[in-house]
Amino acid sequence: MAKMLDLIKGILEGRFPQPPIAQLIGFNLTAVKPGEAVIEFDASEAHANPMGTLHGGILCDIADTAMGVAFASTLAPGETAAFRTRLASPPADGRDLSIRFLTRRDLLAGMR
């Protein structure tokens, strides 16, 4: 998967554009190394659900991208990855969101 890591590093270096989903939602891949990816995102009203909080689907799209990037260079042939989300409460207004994935088999994601 060295080619995938090279492509991702090219995105970070500005040689390639951010993925279309990143452009659509407005998040940025800001750091990557084998087994790790960091994505940053500033939510706006455009990302709100009918209750006025950040839509859970937006978080899932960002998490899916972070997981895919983090795992891209570490999966063995034929191995796959999956994630499950449980949203306990919406992020506080004005709080920046950074999702970081580490390729560990127990705890994969954190949000601050």
Model confidence band, residue 14 (pLDDT cutoffs 50, 70, 90) = very high
What's this model's pTM, rounded to 2 decimal places? 0.71
Instruction: State pLDDT tens for residues 29-67.
Output: 888 887 888 888 888 888 888 888 888 888 889 888 888
Asked if residue 110 lies in contact with residue 77, where contact means CB atoms within 8 angstroms, the answer is no
Show the tokens assigned to 53.
Answer: 């909080």
CA-CA distance, 110 to 112, in Å (whole number)? 7
CATH class of domain segment(s) 2-111: alpha beta
CA 41 and chain centroid, separation: 9
Whether 80 has a pLDDT exceeding 80, the answer reads no
How far, in Å, CA of 66 to CA of 97, rounded? Answer: 13
Give the per-residue pLDDT at 108. 42
